[in-house]
Copies of this chain bind each other. A is one copy, B any other.
Amino acid sequence: MSYVEEMGIKAKAAEIKIASASTMLKNSALSAISAALAENKELIIAENAKDLKAANANGMSVSMQDRLRLDEKRISGMVKGVEELIALNDPIGQVIESFTRPNGLQILKTRVPLGVIGIIYESRPNVTVDAAALCLKAGNAVILKGGKEAVNSNICLGRIMREALEKAGLPADVIQVVDNTSRETTNELMRLNGYLDVLIPRGGARLIQAVVNTATVPVIETGTGNCHVYVDASADLEMAVNITDNGKTQRPSVCNAVESLLVHKDCAEEFLPMIAKRFEEHSVKIYGCDRTREILGSNIAKATDAEYAAEFLDYVISVKVVDSIDEAIEHIRRFGTKHSECIVTRSPENAEKFQRYVDAAAVYVNASTRFTDGGEFGLGAEIGISTQKLHARGPMGLTELTTIKYLINGNGQIR
């Protein structure tokens, strides 16, 4: 039996306990986890330092190193995140609907945990805690497979959480961290049918694509964000500068950052120099179409389909001047990843048209795409942003980590 299959068997055994655990028991486990994380800050930082040292030696980019870093503030953030889950309503056991049929059958549609959830993610080790705690609160067992670059941080966080679970009276195997980061192990996890009820990859386009191509278990695609801002002819240009700049530079390494800017030809000559000036402050590199380069100068790099398709996750943006809102929508249909898209406009008709025909989890009018986030939406913690249409779309919170079960009670009914 393989290492991964053993994890699957352990997860299945733990699943039975956590699925039927009371809200009080699950909350006391969350308390134990947050306390243990706070107590072990120094240890976590020390283990994370090993990962950072290796990353630096391997020449990892500055924005990727930022994703990897755990400092006092980020650990406090994780602790606070776990504590906040305690206050959230437990979705499990909820009777969503109940009805009695003419033949006397009583049917209850109830909310139950998904079962065993696999998470494959990159870089950010805080995902280890955020994801595990969310899965636990929704009554699921979880198998976490982080990136090789964060392996010391992840193993340390896993061990702390598992000890806390046992102290709280739950099986440690409710949370398992894969400490073998080989590709073979990852592939096996993607094909762990019979054990995994869902696999959630979190990361860049390459990771998502690998999972989609390899997995035979059900997958929820998350987190690939080639997000656009379209500046309509009627836009408030000052607002458009602020929204575009915020989307691109406030935190470029995350999935709801803006990667591409579309500008209506009627405002391009005025708007492009405004945004270029703002981008200079952050040394944002621009790839532009021919018309962009006519306006901003030929020192601007030329954009090809590769740049329009790219999720840079860095201080880089592609820019295109378009003839119409229809061209903008068409461009987004072609290159977008169904994450977050924004129009800046003063026209209600164009706002409505953009929201209707752009096919994405979140479609904004006159606001930054950076708001696509469970916390910012007021939905509480989330395990990721789903960019597919099945099961969950947009921020995935507790409810998205559950499924339903019909309970039918009769007294001998037959057909």
Contacts and interface: CB of A to CB of B under 8 A. Distances in A.
A404 to B, nearest CB: 5
Contacts of A198: 389-390
Interface string A12-28: 00001000100000000
A48 to B, nearest CB: 26
Nearest to A362: B406
Interface stretch (A211-219, A280-288, A316-324): A211-219
Interface string A340-369: 000000000001000111011111111110
B361 A405 contact: yes
A363 B407 CA distance: 5
Interface string A154-192: 000000000000000000000000000000000000000
A95 to B, nearest CB: 13
A206 interface: no
Contacts of A393: 403-406
Among A220, A361, A404, A405, which residue has the most Cβ atoms of chain B within 10 A?
A405
Contacts of A220: 390
Given A250-B415, A366-B410, A390 B389 contact: no
B414 A378 contact: no
Given A101-B377, A115-B359, A362-B405, 16 more contacts: A16-B357, A101-B376, A212-B216, A239-B412, A243-B412, A243-B414, A246-B414, A247-B414, A363-B407, A364-B408, A367-B408, A371-B408, A393-B404, A393-B406, A394-B404, A394-B406
Nearest to A214: B216
A193 interface: yes
A409 B243 contact: no
A105 interface: yes
A216 B411 CA distance: 44
Interface residues of A, number: 63
A391 interface: yes
A236 interface: yes
Copies of this chain present: 2
A115 B388 CA distance: 11
Contacts of A362: 405-406, 408
A274 to B, nearest CB: 15
Interface in A370-385: 370-372, 376-378
Contact of A403 (B105, B371, B389, B408): B389
Contacts of A403: 389-390, 393
13 contacts: A16-B357, A101-B377, A105-B371, A193-B212, A218-B218, A218-B388, A236-B412, A242-B414, A363-B407, A365-B407, A367-B408, A367-B414, A390-B391
B242 A406 contact: no
Nearest to A110: B355
Nearest to A373: B415
Interface in A225-269: 236, 239, 242-243, 246-247, 250
A198 B365 CA distance: 28
A44 interface: no
A285 B198 CA distance: 37
A413 to B, nearest CB: 4
A52 interface: no
